[in-house]
Structure formats: C-alpha cells, structure tokens
C-alpha cells in the first residue's frame, strides 16, 4: 500500500431514512359500504450501520464517498398493509476504527471485531394507521400518525492501527528499513527525517507458518505529546499495539537518553502505554566491534533497569531471527 493510499482520518455526513406515514383508509367493498378503518402502519426508515471488515486496512474508501443516506420507508395502505421498511445502508470500516461526533468530539463507539455492527443513526419509526385508533366511541377515525423523520449527523472516522508490534523511535532511526527486511512491505526509505508520514504495516513470517503484524509508525520527536511534529496523528496508532519495539541506532550520542525521551513522550500522551510489553533493539550494530558491544552492554544493563534489549543490523541481517523469536515469545506470553 502506498503512503498516499493510507487514510486514517475522515469526516462523513450520514442521514437515516424517514418513517412512512400511517394510512387513514376506510374499508370499502361491494355490499360493504361502511367497513370501518383498515389503514396499515408506515414502514421503518433505513438505518445507517457501521460494520467491521477485517479485509480493510485503511479508510481510503471514504475519501471518495463522504455522504451516506438511507432509504425512506413506504407509507401504510389499505387492508392493514404495512409499508416496506427503508433499506439500511452499511458503512464498512477497518478494525480499530473509532467513530466520533464531529460537533462534540464525543466517542460514540469503536469497531474492533470482524462483522461487528453498530447502528450509527436509527431510521424514523413508521406512523400507526387508523386501525389502531378505533374504539367504541370512535368507530371510524379518519386520521393516522405521520412517520418520524430520520436523523442526520456529521461524524469523524478515526483509524487506530491494529497491529501486534509497534515500532517506536526517533526519525531516521531505521524503522522503515527494518520493516522492509522483516516483511514484504515496501515503505519509502531515504536518508532524511520524517521519510515516513503514514503508518506502514507488514506481516512477519515466523517459524512453523506462524505470523504477526508489525507497524512502522512515523518518528517521534521531543514534544510530540503536545502535538509537535506529527504529534497526535501517529501517537494514537501506538495505543492498539500489544508490544512496543523501541529502535535506537548504535551511533546515537546517548542511547539511554533517547530511550528515556521516547518513554516520556508516551507517558505524557497516555500513561497506560507504559504498561505494554516493550523490547529495545539497538540497530546498526554492524558498526560495532565485540569489545565496544560488551562495554555498551554493561552500561545498558544499568540504564534500562530490566527492560530487555538486543543488538541487530537490518543491512547485515544480524540478530533478526532472535528479534522475531523474542517478539513472538512476548506476544504469546
């Protein structure tokens, strides 16, 4: 999927159908001149329904279709015939989509399971026909209820990527390179910051035909929790990941400080993110000799305070199988 095709935030307009009017018909037939009321009820207006679809990965379909209107119901008719219901309209969304009210920014609901259906807007109820209003003192009511009008609303669809592992790191840390090596994904790779502007997903093939999904998320900078850089546009994607993989290059000026800055940004955005399992990968280890790597291990054992770490190189393909084994073990612990 190309970067331009990844859409994770759209505004749409939805309108449910009107209910049908009840009928005020009076029964007439040969030899029956005063048959009494037999008006049927109006049908129900069509609902607007949001449905989860595991085969979708992005909201790009809503980029070209932003108005959804359900059908109006049919009116009631004679012989107590109920009008046909309006046809419901389904909005298929990828799993992990949050639906918010555009006016209030209130979260209405979220879709996390395939086939899960939530009614966004209910269709108007149909009016009752005059059959329901007959009584001993009013045997020929000549009135019926009108149908209820449908509802309309502008909503925000916001996708939070559902992935098993989220890649976290500073811009240009090598996250996209690692994703391209571990998976068949082809993210944009270049030697400048913020090459990645949208999350990229890839499926990691593990032993015995097992697999898990990894997400390359745009780089974090200091102040991201306050919206600096790409800010909240990518931090929300980390909320869905079961495990966080921190990627810090071996040539960083201070590996421990970079790790603390990344943790602090996550803490300020949402403290619950620190409850997730995490692993630190020191990338570009092909630049290090054994002696320097041993010295770094001594310092990292103290600074990381029990957080597991390992050395890898995406280019030289060092430590990648161990990385996949560790991530798989963490996902299934």
pLDDT digits over 44-57, tens only?
A: 999 999 999 988 87
Residue 1's pLDDT is what? 43
Q: CA 319, 321, 325, 330 torsion: positive or negative?
A: positive
Look at residue 240 in the predicted model and tell me its pLDDT. Answer: 74
Taking domain 165-331, whether its CATH number is 3.40.30.10 is answered by no
Q: What is the pLDDT of residue 66?
A: 94
Task: Find where tokens 């960083």 sit.
Answer: 252
* C-alpha separations of 251 from 179, 248, 284 in Å: 20, 9, 8
Exposure string for 181-219, b = 16+ CB within 10 A, e = fewer: bbbebebeeeeeeebbebbbbbebebeeeeebbbbbbbb
Residue spans of the chain under pLDDT 50: 1-4, 187-197, 223-231
- Chain centre to alpha carbon of residue 13: 18
* Domain(s) of CATH 2.70.210.12: residues in the chain: 1-159
Per-residue pLDDT at 100: 93
Cα separation, 21 vs 152, in Å, equals 20
Give the C-alpha separation, 134 to 105, whole Å: 47
The whole-angstrom separation of Cα 120 and Cα 8 is 19
Q: Please give the backbone phi and psi of residue 329, each rounded to the nearest 5 degrees, phi first.
A: -65, -40
Q: Which fold has domain 1-159?
A: Spo0b-associated Gtp-binding Protein; Chain: A, (2.70.210)
- The closest alpha carbon to 276, from 173, 170, 168, 159, belongs to 168
Contact (Cβ atoms closer than 8 angstroms) between residue 198 and residue 186: no
Check residue 233 and give its pLDDT. Answer: 56
pLDDT at residue number 305: 80
Q: What pLDDT, in 10s, does the model give residues 175-214?
A: 878 888 888 655 444 443 444 446 677 778 888 778 888 8
CA atoms within 13 A on the CB side of 85: 11
Sort strands 165-168 and 211-216 into parallel, antiparallel or unpaired. parallel
pLDDT at 213: 82
* Number of C-beta neighbours around residue 308 at 10 A: 12
Distance separating alpha carbons of residues 10 and 59, to the nearest angstrom: 7
Rg of the chain (C-alpha set):
29
**Among the residues of the chain, which ranges form H helices?**
61-64, 175-182, 232-238, 255-269, 290-303, 320-331
Structure-derived torsion over alpha carbons of residues 298, 304, 306, 310, reported in degrees to the nearest 10: -70
Nearest Cα neighbor of 71 from 20, 118, 16, 120 is: 16
List where CATH 3.40.50.300 sits in the chain.
165-331
Decide: 237 and 199 in contact? Cβ < 8 Å. Answer: yes
């Amino acid at each position: 999927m190309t970067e331009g095709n990844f859409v994770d935030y759209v505004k749409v307009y939805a309108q449910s159908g009107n209910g049908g009017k009840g009928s005020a018909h009076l029964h007439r037939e040969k030899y029956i001149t005063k048959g009494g009321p037999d008006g049927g009820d109006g049908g129900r207006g069509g609902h607007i329904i949001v449905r989860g679809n595991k085969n979708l990965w992005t909201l790009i379909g809503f980029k070209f279709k932003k108005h959804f209107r359900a059908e109006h119901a049919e009116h009631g008719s004679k012989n107590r015939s109920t009008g046909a219901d309006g046809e419901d309209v389904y909005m298929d969304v990828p799993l992990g989509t949050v639906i918010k009210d555009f006016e209030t920014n209130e979260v209405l609901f979220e879709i996390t399971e395939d086939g899960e259906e939530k009614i966004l807007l209910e269709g108007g109820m149909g009016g009752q026909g005059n059959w329901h209003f007959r009584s001993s003192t009013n045997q020929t009511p000549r009135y019926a209820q009108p149908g209820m009008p449908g509802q309309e609303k502008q909503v925000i669809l916001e996708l939070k990527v559902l992935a098993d592992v989220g890649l976290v790191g500073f811009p240009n840390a090598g996250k996209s390179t690692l994703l391209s090596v571990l998976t068949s994904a082809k993210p944009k790779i270049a030697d400048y910051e913020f090459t990645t502007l949208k999350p990229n997903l890839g499926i990691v093939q593990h032993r015995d035909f097992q697999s898990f999904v990894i997400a390359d998320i745009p780089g974090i900078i200091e102040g991201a929790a306050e919206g600096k850089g790409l800010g909240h546009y990518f931090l929300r994607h980390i909320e869905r990941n079961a495990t966080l993989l921190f990627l810090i290059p071996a040539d960083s000026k201070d590996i421990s400080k970079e790790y603390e800055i990344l943790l602090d940004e996550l803490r300020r955005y949402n403290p619950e993110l620190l409850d997730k399992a995490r692993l630190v990968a020191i990338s570009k280890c092909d630049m290090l000799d054994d002696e320097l790597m041993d010295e770094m291990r001594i310092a990292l054992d103290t600074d990381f305070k029990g957080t597991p770490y390992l050395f890898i190189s995406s280019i030289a393909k060092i430590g990648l199988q161990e990385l996949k084994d560790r991530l798989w073990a963490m996902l299934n612990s």
